[in-house]
Amino acid sequence: MTDIPRRAAARTAKLASLPLGFAGRTVLGLGKRVTGMASDVISAEIQQRTAEQLFSVLGQLKGGAMKFGQALSVFEAALPDELAGPYRQALTKLQEAAPPLPAASVHRVLAAELGDDWRANFAEFDDVPAAAASIGQVHRAVWRSPPPGRGRRRTPDRAVAVKIQYPGAGDALLSDLKQLSRMAGMFRAIQPGIDVKPLIVELRERITEELDYELEAETQRAFHAGYAKDPDIYVPEVIRATPHVLVTEWIDGTPLSAVISGGTQEERDEAGRLMAVLHFSAPRRCGLLHADPHPGNFRILPDGRLGVIDFGAVARLPDGLPEPVGRLLSLALAGDADGVLAGLVEEGFVKPDDDNLDGPALLDFLRPMLAPVVEEEFQFTRAWLRGEAVRLGNPRSPAYQLSRHLNLPPSYLLLHRVTMGSIGVLSQLEAKARYRDIVEEWLPGFSA
């Protein structure tokens, strides 16, 4: 492979192999049942092979296919262990690595963006990528400091991360997401209870921002300034940016995915606290919300801070988090059912002419979701998230029937998705912390 696969026919064929492969393995499983093989053994084999193919295809294609897979990986915590197990490892790989772009293609991009003498910018450049992700890959390098002015001492060269966008990434994103939207049925089979269509629509709407590395640099500079000298969060400095190349300060740390898989309870608790602090504090500090909370974008630094390394997806909240969210949360904690219902109608979560919604029933519907801020200390777990997924996703449950009367206003779509993604990560971490204190400090309108 010399470039990101971008011809529509070739990419469509690879993506089409996913449902075809899944169907083929299912038929093969039926045949094995006829021969007397145990159904649980067959199902496990089908799930394992589907997981392997899922990583292989989404990783090779990069683009929208891989970005979708990364987003999907956050929600595996909501699935039963017997179903999630085979997919967890394969999907988690998408948070940290993918098949790399060859060195020759990397050099062509660098020459086009930084000039034919691009190597003059670097004292060292590693052709082997440190990470390969959805629309670009990252190389470790040493940025050569400029010659000092007269009478000044030369500043040291700096270790940097060089993010290089895959050629053809824009076309690939659009092609993948169009094709993936037709495959919702297959993904429901792989991850029941998760509707992928809204996720795909949102990814498609944000393509332009994701592809503009100069805009990402501007965003990262805002976060860097907002968290300067912060004891909890660290954002690397931007060194150089062009439309398709972004050079930032290199940071060493433990990937959040490694903390999830092998961290102690204390380490996972602290990582969860830091993730919650970032989520709630960024809108006030920067007027922005980090909108891509999958674990591959975070590192735990040697000094204990949370390092954030990707800013391609953000929500712009110049006025901070919406005050009505905090106010309605306070009313719910106080048991003011009528106040909550009136507030939800005012914000557009409930249609004004819907007379079938009862205030106390609405409060009962919301109460389990309030547990993280009701309790002085709360532990997110996979079991808790699975319970909520079952409660809200079962068409026969009262919660599901009530949810049909609720609407998610467009202005809250991204905030809702990011919050759900963050909860997914906290549940993967099984992190315990005083989340109510964090919410009370940073969420406008909220008082416990």
The per-residue pLDDT for range 156-204, each reduced to its tens digit, is 999 999 999 988 877 766 666 666 666 666 555 544 445 566 666 766 7
Ramachandran region of residue 430, left (φ > 0), alpha (ψ -120 to 50) or beta?
A: left
* 246: β partners: 163, 241
Q: How far from each other are the two terminal CA atoms of the chain, in whole angstroms?
A: 56
Task: For residue 27, give every residue at least 6 positions away whose Cβ sits within 8 Å of its Cβ, in sequence order, or none.
Answer: none
Q: Which of 279, 132, 277, 160 is nearest to 217 (CA)?
A: 160
Is residue 77 over pLDDT 80? no
Q: What integer pLDDT is reported at residue 216 of this predicted model?
A: 96
pLDDT band at 369 (very low <50, low <70, confident <90, very high): confident
Write down the pTM of the prediction: 0.78
Q: What integer pLDDT is reported at residue 176 of this predicted model?
A: 63
Q: Model confidence over 107-151: pLDDT tens digits?
A: 999 999 999 999 999 999 999 999 876 678 999 999 999 877 676
Higher pLDDT pick, 3 / 207: 207
Task: For residue 185, give every residue at least 6 positions away whose Cβ sits within 8 Å of its Cβ, in sequence order, or none.
Answer: 19
Q: What integer pLDDT is reported at residue 196 of this predicted model?
A: 61
Q: What percent of the chain has pLDDT over 90?
A: 48
Is residue 106 over pLDDT 90? yes
Q: Model confidence over 255-302: pLDDT tens digits?
A: 999 999 999 999 999 999 999 999 999 999 999 999 989 898 999 999
Cβ atoms of 435 and 329 closer than 8 Å: no
Is residue 38 over pLDDT 60? no
Pairing of strands 233-234, 306-308: parallel
Q: Which of 111, 143, 112 is nearest to 125 (CA)?
A: 143
Cα separation, 167 vs 6, in Å, equals 9
Other beta carbons within 10 angstroms of residue 391's beta carbon come to 16
pLDDT band at 31 (very low <50, low <70, confident <90, very high): very low
Is residue 313 over pLDDT 50? yes
CA distances from 325 to 202, 292, 319, 415 (A): 22, 21, 13, 11
Q: What integer pLDDT is reported at residue 132 of this predicted model?
A: 77
Q: Which of 47, 112, 342, 436 is nearest to 245 (CA)?
A: 112
pLDDT band at 397 (very low <50, low <70, confident <90, very high): confident
Cβ atoms of 19 and 61 closer than 8 Å: no
Coil, strand or helix: which one is 376? coil
Pairing of strands 314-316, 288-290: antiparallel
Cα separation, 23 vs 29, in Å, equals 10
The mean pLDDT value of the chain amounts to: 80
Is residue 1 over pLDDT 60? no
Coil, strand or helix: which one is 277? helix
Cα separation, 219 vs 166, in Å, equals 21
Cα separation, 63 vs 354, in Å, equals 42
Coil, strand or helix: which one is 298? strand
Helix (H) or strand (E) holding 75: none
Cβ atoms of 293 and 418 closer than 8 Å: yes
CA distances from 437 to 8, 374, 394, 432 (A): 50, 10, 32, 13
Task: For residue 150, give every residue at least 6 positions away whose Cβ sits within 8 Å of its Cβ, in sequence order, or none.
Answer: none
Cα separation, 239 vs 145, in Å, equals 11
User: Quick one: DSSP state of residue 94?
Assistant: T
Is residue 234 over pLDDT 50? yes
Cα separation, 316 vs 290, in Å, equals 9
Other beta carbons within 10 angstroms of residue 82's beta carbon come to 11
pLDDT band at 82 (very low <50, low <70, confident <90, very high): low
Q: What integer pLDDT is reported at residue 81 of this predicted model?
A: 57
